[in-house]
Structure 1
Amino acid sequence: MRAVTCHRGELAVAEVPDPVPGRGQILIEVTRSGICGSDLHARTHSDLTADGAAEIGYDGFMRSEQTVVLGHEFCGRVVAYGPGCHERWPVGTRVVALPVLRQDDGAHLTGLSERAPGGFAEMTLVSEVMTMPVPDGVSDDHAATTEPLAVAHHAVRRSEVGKKDVAIVVGCGPIGLAVILMLKAAGVRTVVASDLSAARRQLAARCGADIVVDPRTESPWTAYGERKGHLRTAPSLIELGMDTLQVLRRVPGLPWWRVMRAAEKVGATPRGPVVFECVGVPGMIEDVITHVPLLSRVVVVGVCMEPDTFRPSMAINKEIDLRFVFAYGPGEFYETLQMIADGTVDPSPLLTGTVGLDGVADAFTALADPDRHAKILIDPVSDVRTV
């Protein structure tokens, strides 16, 4: 079969052996595959990422000297089952799958491991246990966005953002746009989107962002106004605490400390916005921590492949809640697919182009320009070479 391989950072269309499904595996014909920012990073930073993965016990991540078929966002049709499968769906059924393939030496990351070739190909293998049928009415294009939207769904859930909170999305690439879609699906009323690219700001608005800013001319930290009462200086927090205590202690016999604890439980105490850092380049965490209001929650979604630094003292002084997120669970993947099916989430604004296998290298180049594209899909039977 034909597939796009990556070796020492070079992409090439090659003839490779047809995959043969092993125990518990399904062979699928790929109908669409999405190019992810992780694919762009893995092409150039695979060794660094592999070193980090090995430190937490996974030594199967791709390395530059290996030849790997990329692609972990895909949908396709069932072609054949391997031994030990339940054969849950008829041949020809459209499916999506979590990109984790169980082999005899353990589980591997599909499209990011030599042991689990990915979806930039005519066919690929998936684990039956990780596979889900695509609901009727969901196009192949939209089904292929299940994986990146599940990443965003997980990030929004981990953030514990409330409907009345201000959510600020820094960076409106594909994952930032997906986060905006999931924030609006969760009912968050005020979503601020910030990006240097005019094209991506337009896409952010299409995804439902309530306020869209160019950070060169307007601060995302103040664009929503002061109506939320976010605290921006240490003295303002100290003064608020003193003023609150002064009021409460005017009531004789009132257990003011219990009132304060009760206020915390119902969310009546001060808090900042919930910020999603979706850029993933060195310096962004420091920049966000430096500029966010006090008591903010910062969720790091963007994957920075290089070492980075920030000032813990600044985060401490502001009492910033810093969280890092990765991937999603099977339940979140399923929920995302259902949200696409019932129209809760419309992935259309993410999709800006489609190429065939011969156009993948050009698509990687095009994705380096934020004003040209967000998410490019691959149709393995298409002869389109440029986007």
Structure 2
Amino acid sequence: MQLGDALPSIRHPIPAAAGRSWVERLSQSECPALTTRRKRREELTGASHDPIVWVEAQGANVVDSDGNRYVDFTSGFGVAFVGHRHPEVVRAVKRQSDRLLHALGDLHPSDVKITLLEKLCTLAPWPQARAMLSLNGSDAVTAALKTAVMATGKTGVVAFAGSYHGLNYGPLAVSGFAKRFREPFEAQLQPDVHFAAWPSADLGVEAALETLPRDWSRIGAVILEPIQGRAGVRFSPPGFLEALRQACNTNGVLLIVDEIFTGVGRCGAWWRSVDEGVIPDLICAGKALGGGLPVSACIGREEVMRAWGNPDREAIHTGTFYGDPLGSAAALASIELIERDGLAQRAVDRGKLFAAMLRAEQLASVTEVRQAGMMLGLQLEGRLRALGVSRALLERGYLVLPAGAEADVIQLAPPITVNDEQLQGFVASLRAALGGS
């Protein structure tokens, strides 16, 4: 079976000699914060958390520096929705590289950047839209937060406990997941952020809404993820997003929806929030958008984005590589694939099948399977359980991510190219990793 469609093949220890050499080199050159995280996980689980070093990927498969082959159920943090190194994305990038690698940004843009902006506006849920391109999710959120200030004149933001919008200064200030991310930089962060509660099994929609601010006079925006990914694939219950939209309307506040993980087909629609019946004012997109290259966007209603159009100002939000030709070409190819091949609907169908397979196993250690398209969360019994289970799955050739404040959720976001045999192999390996329960 060719690379992309193959089952795992683990022939060497993880990591073996080549991998250990790379990891040692990494420890001598990488920011030590990441090395420290691995050591902390080893202390918590009693197992190695040394990384594998990727050298090749195709479709749903990844190959490490020791020659081991894996099935990637993370899509590289959700990026490879259309599959790693999709041939059409690769061809688009190669064609673009043959004629133009870089342009002059906001002064003299490339044709492919303009084409991508036009395409993104057609995917927006408003009759008229404008977009701003950038490189990663944090950039897109930063653009949205700035847009809200420009449009409303107000700097206050309502965000949510458990939210994760990125670690640049603007997004970090509104990220409620793991206070330890914010604490070292607290003095430099935007202070006017109100963290409201996210509904849960213990806190209903009405109770969560009671934690919204009483005084909205300083608030310019509400920002949320339709599904909180890093917090453990936590869904918004029915009625919650609609109530937030109404609160924004009542108080003259903009609704920013961070669709960086949930959007662009991953959850079965272009935009999860719109699929839920809620039209935001600003949408942040990324990850799957670039088909493997770093591309993100802030897309907004034209009347909101018009706030940037003061002729007395310079271009006060831009970047050297925003809308670069290679990323723009990759994004256009990715969008064309998703539209032409009906990949959003395929995510609906494949996601339902995968969730049914997981539930049919009736694993006692899995207390809930949460699913929207090809974004799933497996709730496990026991704090920190996901750390050990994710490593056990890696040893069996399946890449997954632990999630949740208590590291008690396995987050799954495989490429849409994952086949039935790979899904079945994962389910069998999950049972083994959980000790058969």
What TM-score does the superposition give when structure 2 sets the normalisation length? 0.30
- Select the structure of larger CA radius of gyration: 1
Q: Which has the higher strand share?
A: 1
**TM-score under structure 1 normalisation?**
0.33
- Where is the helix percentage greater, Structure 1 or Structure 2? 2
Q: Which has the higher contact order (CA 8 A, sep 6+)?
A: 2
